[in-house]
């Protein structure tokens, strides 16, 4: 019983800490599911592009999560002008962005370990 109370307190404390952060906490597993929308151009895993000879697609794997979220917000807000990315980002929620960023940023760990 006592252990359970401590665990509950810890969970509550964690919820408070995460709730207070400015960005939604990204879930890499959920983000992976969402990369079906991105894989055609950005490729998974890592950062191989599907059409390197057609146009330059920036690598996402290994980018800082905060940078990815910021970039997606920029497309959504119209601060970044690429038409395709604007159309894609327009449909992403804050949670989608955080999840995708968590997945792509964690990708560096895998590629760096090789
Ligand atoms: C139709 C091809 C295409 C698809 C699909 C696509 N992207 Fe992109 N993405 C691009 C191109 C091209 C750029 C570079 C645009 C520019 O120059 O601003 C880009 C840029 C980005 C950037 C900025 C990277 C940087 O370093 O500046 C991010 C982040 C990004 N895409 C994330 C995503 C995510 C997440 C998805 C899926 C939800 C996705 N993209 C789907 C083609 C695509």
- What separation in Å is there between the alpha carbon of 14 and the centre of ligand 1? 33
CB neighbours (10 Å) of residue 83? 8
CA-72 nearest atom, ligand 1: 29
Quick check: 42 pLDDT over 70? yes
CA-84 nearest atom, ligand 1: 1
- CB of 69 within 6 A of ligand 1: the answer is no
Per-residue model confidence (pLDDT) at position 17 = 47
Hey, which of 30, 40, 41, 83 would you mutate to test ligand 1's pocket, going by the most ligand atoms within 8 Å of its Cβ?
Answer: 41
- pTM of structure: 0.74
Give the chain's domains with CATH numbers: 24-113 (1.10.760.10)
Per-residue model confidence (pLDDT) at position 97 = 97
Mean residue pLDDT of the chain comes to 76
List alpha helices for 21-113, DSSP H: 28-34, 39-42, 65-77, 83-90, 94-113
pLDDT tens digit sequence for 55-89: 567 778 888 999 999 999 999 999 999 999 999 99
- CB of 60 within 6 A of ligand 1: the answer is yes
CB 38 within 8 A of CB 103: no
């Amino acid at each position: 019983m006592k252990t359970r109370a401590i665990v509950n307190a810890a969970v509550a404390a964690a919820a408070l800490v995460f709730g207070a952060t400015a960005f939604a906490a990204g879930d890499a597993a959920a983000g992976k599911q969402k990369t079906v929308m991105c894989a055609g151009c950005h490729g998974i895993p890592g950062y191989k592009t599907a059409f390197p000879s057609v146009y330059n697609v920036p690598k996402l794997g290994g980018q800082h999560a905060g940078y990815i979220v910021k970039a997606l917000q920029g497309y959504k807000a119209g601060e970044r002008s690429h038409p395709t990315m604007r159309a894609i980002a327009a449909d992403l929620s804050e949670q989608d962005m955080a999840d995708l960023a968590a997945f792509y940023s964690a990708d560096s760990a895998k590629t760096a370990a090789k």
